[in-house]
Chains A and B, each alone.
Chain A
């Protein structure tokens, strides 16, 4: 009992955000995830300048194993293109697709989930039926259909992934809104003159944010996997180098040239692992029940 009492005497303002940050810093796995992601982002940002080899140019014999030719340190693919160049130049596209799809997921999910949870009643019923409609469509097939309808291009792929992934985010947002809306401080803000928009964006959403942020980090990872999957099925944009494209293009040579699939696969793995660890770390940091004293 005593130990749970708030520190009334404390003089320094300790914001919930600052405490979460400190808790995250203590979480080793989360910090590792952050390091991994930073490496990938750095690769995407400066890699192409440090290693300006055109990933589409044929620079070596097809399927050169790694460490055999100084021109292609990680080996070459079935056409003789530099794998390292593919990984370095593909990072940007991969991250872009992940980020854009996650942004779309979060935007649609929050707008729909918040509206449903805040207004409830008929609006809730309508929006939730819509959400369920999208949720029961098989996401991969739906995304494939969307991509084939238009010409496969990176923005279309990001759009397709975003469009199939928002229902989970919408449900989570709605659940958080339903939990927070009846709390006293929402009514208190309303009695202080707060309107609907203020309550939704400035009061409820910031308090609902922690699980949404965690979920968003995981959505980025999922979108990257999704893009790899679409490219693997040959539905990627063939004119833009991405990790998924390398894996997809070389899938028939997996026996003769394991490295063509392994290295880009490893890059995907590291990125998704990093995002996943960050998501877990954030989850622990935001959840005071799991925080040690």
Chain B
């Protein structure tokens, strides 16, 4: 069997002297599939993405253990030169705010051409033609005109489409999407999801989608990784997890999404909420990090951290989960 598009094993990232931002994160993303990574801010979702890209935002952050393999090749052992080559041709990333990731001084066409020619030497004219094709493929009408426009002339949805086109310029096997639709309106979000699905069906790109929105996960993902305070707390197929979440945090996340219900409500109901907030890095102690917010927690939960356990394919890290960990 071919190696998966992405394998992260026991990934640990430390912030010098303060603590572990990621603590033994492991998951796999098979080729051509979509993996949703969910959790609140501060849970380590974006850090996981940046670690995979090897774009650590600060020298104080160090990967102290673990392995990251993209299509079977280690990101950690690769030379910086090789990593640069891999970004774009093997893996690419799109961000929440496309405006900050696009250079305002160059036209859309110039920027796509640059990412095409970074991966494959070709004459500018041919690259520009290919850029036009890419824009058409991500559903931008009249690509010729848009190639000559500057980022500020585009709407948020079009900018995100341009980002997707740039990310796909090198035909990478893995696309990392960090909250790709959080800044967009719902109707535009639905369009972006359609574009991503269509690209995946055509090119077989694996997508790692980072989001705090379970609705987006339900829409897009095959598998889900739920993260809390730097650890994976539940991991499994999206259908199973949405139907019968095993970790109380997952249950809480699903419950408190104000998704559209098929019936309307009689009065403003009490919404299910998870009390409290994600603990600060410096405040994380022994035991299950979710215990202070967990309705089921007992003394044992506060003392020992539960391992990620269960059958391969659907695991959870909770002492109270009868299928997973046992006391």
Contacts and interface: CB of A to CB of B under 8 A. Distances in A.
Nearest to A3: B15
A7 B280 contact: yes
A8 B44 contact: no
A1 B47 CA distance: 6
A9 interface: yes
A2 B21 CA distance: 7
B contacts with A: majority SS: loop
A122 interface: no
Contacts of A1: 41-42, 44-47
Contacts of A7: 280
Nearest to B281: A2
A3 B42 CA distance: 8
A5 interface: yes
Contacts of A9: 280, 283
A27 B321 CA distance: 53
B60 A8 contact: no
Contact of A293 (B47, B60, B280, B281): B60
B262 to A, nearest CB: 35
Given A1-B41, A3-B15, A8 B58 contact: no
A53 B44 CA distance: 70
B45 A8 contact: no
B21 A8 contact: no
Contacts of B46: 1
B322 to A, nearest CB: 31
Given A2-B42, A3-B21, A3-B58, A8 B47 contact: no
Interface string B53-86: 0000010110000000000000000000000000
A8 B280 contact: yes
The A interface is mostly helix, strand or loop, or mixed, namely loop
Interface string A1-17: 11101011100000000
A8 B41 CA distance: 14
A2 B230 CA distance: 9
B3 interface: no
B15 A5 contact: no
B103 interface: no
Contacts of B47: 1-2
A8 B42 CA distance: 13
Nearest to B47: A1
A2 B280 CA distance: 8
B58 to A, nearest CB: 7
B277 interface: yes
Contacts of B277: 8
B283 A5 contact: no
Interface in B5-63: 15, 18, 21, 41-47, 58, 60-61
A1 B58 CA distance: 11
Contacts of B15: 2-3
A2 B283 CA distance: 12
Nearest to B16: A293
**Chain B CB within 10 Å — which of A1, A2, A3, A293 has the most?**
A2
Given A2-B281, A3-B15, A8-B280, A293 B45 contact: no
Interface string A115-138: 000000000000000000000000
Nearest to B279: A9
* A-B pairs, 10 with minimum CB distance: A1-B46, A2-B21, A2-B42, A5-B42, A2-B281, A3-B15, A1-B47, A9-B280, A293-B60, A9-B283
Interface of A: 1-3, 5, 7-9, 293
Given A3-B60, A3-B61, A8-B277, 20 more contacts: A1-B42, A1-B44, A1-B45, A1-B46, A1-B47, A2-B21, A2-B42, A2-B43, A2-B44, A2-B47, A2-B230, A3-B15, A3-B58, A5-B41, A5-B42, A5-B280, A7-B280, A9-B280, A9-B283, A293-B58
Interface of B: 15, 18, 21, 41-47, 58, 60-61, 230, 277, 280-281, 283
13 contacts: A1-B41, A1-B45, A1-B47, A2-B15, A2-B42, A2-B47, A2-B281, A3-B21, A3-B60, A7-B280, A9-B280, A293-B58, A293-B60
